[in-house]
Structures are given as C-alpha cells and as structure tokens.
Structure 1
Amino acid sequence: MLPRRVTPQDHNNKQGISVNKQLGQFYMFRQRRFVPFFITQFLGALNDNLFKNALLVIIVSSGISASDSNTNFLTNLAAGLFILPFFLFSTTAGQLADKYDKAWLIRRIKFAEILIMLTGSYALFSSDITLMLGVLFLLGVQSAFFGPIKYSIIPQHLAAEELMAGNAQVGMGTFTSILIGTLMGAWLVSYDGGALLVGAAAVMLALIGWRASCAIPDAPADSSDIRISLNPIADAAGNIRLARENMTVFYCTMGISWFWLFGGSFLTQVPNFAVTVLQGHATLISILLGAFIVGVAIGSLLCAKISGRQVEPGLIPFGAIGLTLFSADLFFASTSYQLANNAISAVMPLQFLSLSGGVRIFVDLTAIGMFGGMFIVPLYAMVQSRTESHKRARVIAANNVFNALFMVAGALIGIVCLSIVQMTIPQFFALMSGANLLFLALLVWRVPEFKLRFLAWITNNR
C-alpha cells in the first residue's frame, strides 16, 4: 500500500481559510495573509545581499586591504561573520518564534534592520572596514532570528493545499532577491559616490520592509510556556531531538542542508569557473550566476504547478536525479568547451553563447537550479506539514543550524578538492554529481516513502 499524500496540520481549518481550486498559484499575491510577508522576506534577503556584495567589492577593489593575502582573509572573514550567527542564535530564535506571536517578532526584527542599515550607511560613508564587518555580523544575527519565523509562519496563514505554492513563491522570491541584491551591490558601489548610494538604498529597503511587516496578520504562538535559554549547544541538541521525533522530518532537514551544500559548492566556484575554465570576461560571471538562480526560481514555481496542490514527496527523487544528470553533463560540456575554444580569451556573454558548447553549459546551470528548486520546495513543505505547530519553529531552527554546518562543510570540501587535491573545477562538478547520487540513494533508503511516491507520481503522470 502506498503512503498517503502529506496532509498538513488542521490549524488552517481553524482559521476558516477556504481555497478556490480553480485559481492559479499566483492568486495569493492578492491575499493580505501572504503579500506583506512575501514583500518583507523578499526585501530582507535583497538587503542582506546588497550590503554583503557591496562590501566584498569594496574589499577587493578599493585598496582598503594592502595585499592579496589580506584581501583573501577579509573576504573569508566577511563570509564567516555572516554565517556565524546561525550557529549562535538559531536555537534561541526558534524558541522565541514558538513562544511569541510571529508577526509581532517580525516587526521588531525589521525595525532592528533599519538601525543596522543606518549604522551600515555611516560605515560606508566613513570607509570604516571594521564597522562594515560588524554590520555584516549584525545582518547575520537578524537573518538568524528571522529564519525560523520565515518557514514556521507559512502554515499558519495558508491552507493545506496552498503549502506547496506558498513555499514555491517564497523560494522563488528568496533566490530572485539574492540575484538582484548581488548585482545591485556590485553595480551601485562601482559608481562615484557608490558607497553612499548603497547606504541610501539599504536604508530605504529596510524602511519599506518594516512598513510591509506591519501589515502581516497576527500569528499567535501555541506554546507561550516555553523557557528561553541562551545555551546554543544544549538548545541545538534539544531542537535536534525534536526534529528526530519524526525521522521523516529529520531526513527532510538533511535533504535541505544537502541542497545548500551542493548549491553553495556550485555558486562558490562559478566566478573562477567563468574566468579560468571558460576564459570569460568578468561580466560572464553574473550571467552564469543568474542562470543558476533563475533556474531555482523556475523550478520552485514548476514544483507547485505539477504537484497538484499537494505536498508531493515524489518530486524529491525527481529533483535529485535532475541535479545528478545535469551536474554530470556540466563536466562533459565544460571539457568539450575547453577543447573547442582554447585559443579564445576574455569571452563576452553574447560571444559565449555563440561558441561551441556555450549554450549547453548555460542550459546545464539553469537546469541544475531548476531541479534544485523541485528538490527543496517539497522538503520544506514536508517539514512544515509533519511538525506539530507548537514546536515547528524550533525544528526549523535546528534545520538552519544544519544548513550552516553543511555550507561550511561544502566550503571545506571545495578547498580540499581544488587547492590540496588539485582537481579542476569541472572535475569537482563531476565529484559533486556522484556525491549527490550517493546522497539520493541514502535518502530513499532511509525514507522509502520518497521512492514509493516517486514511482506512483511517475505512473500517474504518464
């Protein structure tokens, strides 16, 4: 007997939310229970990436650092300062989100963003690199506190059949905002007086985000008796125990974390891949990053479209298979491209697409992102729907800690493979393809439901 499709908690039925099933998934952009939250999280992710990437450009290009080694140190320090708060504060953030009204918390977090960005504007104006790094750390703190709320508030405001569409649109919005913020940060800071432009834009986005957060409907907590603790290690262990109460939920968090390791490994290597392997001009980097991120956005929306308004576990193996196939093909496409175009240098984006193998590489990166979206959206929806509402935020906080750990592990794997083992970047992509296949095998072995639902989904969609 096949496992039944996932049915979310009955919380939404208490709210009396009814859904016209004839409407498309974008009808939620006319709903107050979704639009203010979507705008809030979209502008928050955009602002983080705007400031972070502007700071990285300043470090690399403005002469603040006196040597290449100092530049590399500051660049890696900036990345570490943004991730560190997820280890330190995610567990406390999960407790707060389960104890207090989530909309109330969001408004206070977004108000803090205004103060942080005002400080960031002063740091940019004064060219104070130490203060800029401090602001980046504070943005990481803010994101760490927002993370558990972001995915635990969705099931409170959406009906059961809206979960896939809601997660898809939030995923689409997040990756789109990452792309826009990345490009805006590098673009604005390159102008004369660019630091002031970045500061002004950051404060404006923070103000709009706070104003949008004021319109988010209340999302009261179910567990006001939770005791807030400030011991991140003990609390993280407690949150992991909560996640392990349902092993399917636990393995879903592992799957989400794996995606961040896998996707982060690709995104980290794209700049060097574009310049050294593809012999591209620096502008090619943005095109390839954009292909991957737009692919994730497309895959997220397709996931909601083809799942039939249900949380469909069968899409998880489908997404993982696509990740494996197209990342493997990226290895072969890159190798062929190098052989065919080894005499060309400083390739511009349009020229790249006209060269032998260029379109194939572009399609591979887009498809990797697209299947990644199909992989991660149902995983988030399953965590939400199969976790009891009174502990959902703490389970998501545990997921965020795992995400950060896996991202750090992905960076270390990249360093070992590319710097110590001396793999080429295409060989590293091939290695990640094989690792993804092994992870998929582990996932379907530990959660047979994924395989059974995948086979049923394939059969029903022939």
Structure 2
Amino acid sequence: MSNLKPKSQFRLLAQKRFGPFFATQLAGAFNDSFLKQLVILLVTFHTAQYTTLSTGLVTNMAAGLFILPFVLFSAFAGQLADRYDKSLVIRSVKAVEVVIMLAVSFGFYAKSLPTLLACIFAMGCHSAFFGPVKYSLLPRVLHQDELTGGNGLLEMGTFLSILGGTLVAGLMVASTTDPLMLSIAVTGVALTGLVSSLFIPPTGEAAPELKIRFSMVKDTLATLKLAQDEGKGVWTSLLAISWFWFMGAVLLSQIPALGKDVLRGDTSVVTVMLAVFSIGVAIGSLLCESLSEHKVEIGLVPIGSIGLTLFCADLGLASLQFANMTTLAPTATGLGWGEFMAATGSWRVLADITLIGLFGGLFIVPLYAYVQLNTHAQRQSRVISANNILNALFMVVAAGMAAGLLAAGLSVPQLILVCAGLNTLATVYLYLTMPGIFERFVVWVVEHKTKLLKR
C-alpha cells in the first residue's frame, strides 16, 4: 500500500471496477421503488380501473410480496453468487429485470392488479438475487482502505435512488396514466441497468467447487448457521444491520401518518419528510470515509446508535409538542410544505428526521465494511444472504410490533419514543456482544478529541 493519503471516495465512480456496478445498482434500486409506488398510486387515484380492494390492503400486499422472496430465495441466491462470477450473475439478474418490466407493461395495458402484484413479487426475487452479489462484490474490487468509502457511496446511491423512484412515480401519475408512457419509463430504467452491467469487469469464481442445491427451509437454516460460524463479530454485525432495518421499517412506515395526522400536513409535507431522511442517510454514509480516516472503523457504530436513540426520542417529543399546539388551525386539505415550514417546531421535526438518517448512515456503513473484511471470500455472498434473510425477518417483526402497539392505543409519537427506548437496549447489547467495539469507540473519541484540541 502507498504511504500517500488515500483520495476521495468519489474517484471510484470514474473507475471501471466500481462505476458500472454503481450505475447498475442505482437503476435497480430506482426501479424497485418506482414500480411499487406506481402501483400504489394507480390503485389509490384510479381505484375503479384496477380493483375493488382498499388502498391500504393493496399497499400492504405490495410490501409483503416484495419482501417475501428475501426469506424464500436468499440462501439459494448466495450460493449462486459464491459459485459463479459475480459480473455474470449481475448481468443475468438485470436481463430478467427487463423481462419483468415487459410483463409490467402488459399489466398497465390490461389494468390487471394481479399481474402488477405478481411483477412486484418478481422484482422482490430480482432484488433477493442481486443483494448477495452487491455487497460481496465490493471486497473483490476495492482495497481495504476503500471499503468504507465504497460502502458509503453504495448506501448513498441506494437511498437517493429509492427516494427518486418514489418522487418520479408521483410526478408521472400526476401527469399521465398512459400505459405506453409508464411502460417506456419502467422498461427504459431496466435497460439502463442491463447496459451498465455489461461494463462490469469479471471478478472470478469465489467458490468454484461449491455444489449448488435448492431447498428453501434447509438451505435457509444452513445459511444462517454458516453466518453464525463466521465469528461472533460478523454475526453480531448482521444482527445490528438488521436492527437498523427494523428501526427504518417502523419509522418510515409511520411518516405518512406522522405527517398527515400529527403534523397536520398534506402530501407535500410527507414528501419533504421522506426526502430529508434519505438525504440524511446519504450524508451520514458519505461522512464515514473521512471520519474513519479510510479504515474499517467499527468505533463509529456506537456513535451512530447513540445518535439514533437521541434524535428518535427528540422526534417523538417534538411531534407531541407540535400536535399539542393550539395556535395552529387545521385545514381541510392539510398544511402545504410552505405553511408547515413556517409553523413553530417544524424545523426541529425535520432536523430530527435528517439526523436520524445521518446517524443511521454512520451506524450501518461501518458494519457492512466490517462484515466484508472479516468474512472469507468463498463465503461472502452466502453470509450477505444470511443478512438479507435476517433483514426481512426483522422488518416483518417491526411491522407486526408497530401494528400491534398502534392497535393497542399508542399514538405515532409514542411509538417513536418506544423505538428510542428499544434502540437504547440494542446499543447496550451491541456493546456487550461485539468484540472490540467499545474499545474502538473510546479510542476514536480520544483520538479525535486530541486532534480538535491541537487545532
């Protein structure tokens, strides 16, 4: 390794080993979000043309169908990604995505909700097969001092692409429901991803002797056991990553209700809240490289977790305070984003949501880099598959917990306060079970305090 100071992570975007893969990931994340939001909005605003089912039921069905493949097929996907060249797997998955978008086009023309829901399930399968390749490719193409920066770029791109897909879907449905235009949009994004994947260099086969088998239950349990056997630090990291998605599932699912029922806003307020959260995650993810000084630094993880707790708690309290204001008169359609921003307490709410995202980025990026660095190359994809399985299970539990607590009478702000309390317990668990994390946290704080004092 050179003694020169490593350059910015953004240089990776112009390099063939990372740039085409990054573009492929952006297109895939965008299309996942774009398709789901298109279906939800079409059913919401053109219900009679598609179904007699309620919008809420369709929304939950879409979410469930998208996440189910992660439980069913992640173990098999991990085997494929370890056995075969990752660039080949990526191109195969992207080619299937184009076929799925052609089926989506039929669903738009026929106004067939079953077809569109089946395609959402198929896109969940697409993502389940892409996920193990996505994170296991990085340690094969990046140097150790680039892992944190590369993961930061990946998380930034993922969250901003998801946000972009959601926003563009809203703009499209507001301007047209022409099946041809919708079909061109989703198919065009899929083709973009396929074309960019053609430029991803070969990575070689990580485990050429691996025998592929398919047994959902047996292989899923075996994959989780393999991840456990990789070491306590890796397994705890996977649980911590899944905890982040637990928190994210609860908080993001409550933003529409928080914006509408608690903060008295219209759809533009909800959009602003989603946007600042995604921007916060992007900023936090990108900060990891400079804060870690180009190392894989798990000492940042406790900082992220503490920030999540503090700003979740403050968001709950700020929302309660905003809801109890008597000077703000409710309107028939809700406050527009301009009116909301002018209201007392609105900036505090948005700052809390942004900082939850930022500290979430500081929490999750070092964990992904740690897993990649401490997992054997022949098993990396299967370990990432175990992570995807755990993520899906944690998100299902999160949805059930949120639904149960809300049904029991808790308000949305109170539910957010519960999340802050649970995250405190998760932070303590992380300190007690992950080797070296507390020591690295103390060392990082002392080193950076010393540098600040010298300045």
Interval containing the TM-score (normalised by the shorter chain): over 0.9
**Alignment correspondent of 2:261:** 276
Matched, 1:44 2:20: no
Return the match for 1:125 from 102, 109, 112: 109
**Alignment correspondent of 2:448:** 461
**Alignment correspondent of 1:173:** 157
Whole-angstrom distance in 1 between the partners of 2:218 and 2:299 = 35
**Alignment correspondent of 2:453:** none
Q: 1:22 to 1:105 in 2, by over 3 A?
A: closer
Whole-angstrom distance in 2 between the partners of 1:256 and 1:232 = 23
Whole-angstrom distance in 1 between the partners of 2:394 and 2:33 = 20
Whole-angstrom distance in 1 between the partners of 2:72 and 2:164 = 28
Whole-angstrom distance in 2 between the partners of 1:342 and 1:355 = 8
1:303/1:377 contact within 8 Å kept: yes
Q: Which runs of 5+ in 1 are unaligned?
A: 1-12
2:241/2:391 contact within 8 Å kept: yes
Deviation digits for residues 343-362 of structure 1 (CA, Å, limit 9, x no counterpart): 23311112211111000000
2:40/2:55 contact within 8 Å kept: no
Pairing of 1:23-38 with structure 2 (within 5 A): 23-38=7-22
Query: C-alpha displacement at 1:195, in angstroms?
Result: 4.0
Matched, 1:164 2:148: yes
2:308/2:423 contact within 8 Å kept: yes
1:19/1:159 contact within 8 Å kept: no
**Alignment correspondent of 1:105:** 89
**Alignment correspondent of 1:402:** 390
> Quick one: which amino acid aligns to residue 443 of structure 2?
A
What TM-score, normalized by structure 2, do the two folds share? 0.95
**Alignment correspondent of 1:360:** 348
Any idea what SS the aligned residue of 2:62 has?
helix
Deviation digits for residues 52-82 of structure 1 (CA, Å, limit 9, x no counterpart): 1000111222124665x63332221111111
> Quick one: which amino acid aligns to residue 51 of structure 1?
L
Deviation digits for residues 362-393 of structure 1 (CA, Å, limit 9, x no counterpart): 00000000000000000101110000000010
**Alignment correspondent of 1:436:** 423
Q: CA RMSD in A?
A: 1.4
Whole-angstrom distance in 1 between the partners of 2:120 and 2:343 = 40
Whole-angstrom distance in 2 between the partners of 1:79 and 1:263 = 14
Return the match for 1:116 from 100, 103, 108: 100
Return the match for 2:376 from 388, 405, 412: 388
Query: C-alpha displacement at 1:122, in angstroms?
Result: 1.6
Query: C-alpha displacement at 1:24, in angstroms?
Result: 1.5
2:233/2:435 contact within 8 Å kept: no
2:305/2:363 contact within 8 Å kept: yes
**Alignment correspondent of 1:291:** 276
Q: Which runs of 5+ in 2 are unaligned?
A: 450-455
**Alignment correspondent of 2:208:** 224
Return the match for 2:313 from 328, 332, 335: 328
Whole-angstrom distance in 2 between the partners of 1:194 and 1:442 = 52
**Alignment correspondent of 1:7:** none
**Alignment correspondent of 2:329:** 343
1:314/1:453 contact within 8 Å kept: yes
Whole-angstrom distance in 1 between the partners of 2:14 and 2:196 = 14
1:291/1:366 contact within 8 Å kept: yes
> Which range moves more in the overlay, 224-233 or 398-407?
224-233
Whole-angstrom distance in 2 between the partners of 1:121 and 1:369 = 34
Query: C-alpha displacement at 1:20, in angstroms?
Result: 5.6
1:189/1:195 contact within 8 Å kept: no
Return the match for 2:137 from 153, 163, 177: 153
Whole-angstrom distance in 2 between the partners of 1:425 and 1:342 = 19
Matched, 1:447 2:431: no
Matched, 1:312 2:297: yes
Query: Identity of counterpart residues, as a percentage?
Result: 40
